[in-house]
């Protein structure tokens, strides 16, 4: 069972928006590199592998930040709670193309949390921070990072939410 990450936009549309309007050249080039390998008429959907693949990204981000107290969703501290990569549902949630400081959790069924909402812009910022340590990434990290990065930048460029499903 894998984690599907979707943006309800065609790959070609996302590529066109990023090529024409995205200002950060490094981010633009990374997005073009990834999107050009995809079918231009397909809806943008990626996978980080299993849910464990998302944890690989999260653990690498925490390592890069030298947050040795981070443990894949357990005992989150205030600095972890502000992270849109770390403090987000593994399977049910959205990233909205809006800028806001901390992720939001929507409650139902008493005190159980069911849906999380993060900022696509903040997620993109955190993923771009990881590029500084790219030469230290584990071997299987690049394609996992690509999968999450491309939906984050496409969401921002097309103003379309990212859905974790």
DSSP 140-153: THHHHHHHHHHHHH
pLDDT reported for residue 71: 65
Residue 150 tokens read as 């491309």
Predicted structure pTM score = 0.86
Mean pLDDT of the region 30-54: 84
pLDDT reported for residue 139: 83
Q: Exposed e or buried b for every residue in 54-92, given b needs 16+ CB within 10 A?
A: bbbbbbbbbbbbebeebeeeeeeeeebeebbbbbbbbee
Residue 59 has pLDDT above 60, yes or no: yes
Confidence grade of residue 76 (pLDDT, cut at 50, 70, 90): low
Mean pLDDT of the region 27-56: 85
Residue 113 has pLDDT above 60, yes or no: no
| Count: domains in the chain | 1
Q: At what angle do helices 141-158 and 25-35 cross, to 10 degrees?
A: 110
Range of the domain at 96: 4-164
* 67 or 145, greater pLDDT: 145
């Amino acid at each position: 069972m894998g984690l599907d990450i979707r943006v309800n936009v065609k790959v070609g549309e996302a590529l066109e928006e990023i090529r024409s309007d995205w200002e950060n050249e490094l981010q633009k080039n990374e997005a073009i590199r990834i999107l050009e390998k995809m079918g231009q008429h397909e809806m943008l959907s990626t996978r980080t592998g299993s849910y464990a693949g998302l944890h690989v990204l999260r653990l690498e981000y925490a390592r890069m930040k030298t947050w040795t107290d981070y443990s894949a969703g357990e005992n989150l501290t205030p600095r972890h709670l502000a992270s849109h990569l770390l403090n987000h549902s593994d399977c049910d949630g959205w990233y909205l193309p809006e800028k806001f400081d901390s992720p939001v959790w929507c409650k139902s069924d008493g005190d159980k949390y069911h849906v999380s909402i993060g900022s696509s812009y903040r997620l993109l910022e955190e993923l771009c921070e990881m590029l500084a340590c790219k030469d230290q990434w584990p071997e299987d990290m690049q394609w996992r990072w690509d999968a999450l990065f491309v939906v984050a930048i496409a969401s921002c460029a097309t103003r379309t939410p990212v859905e974790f499903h």
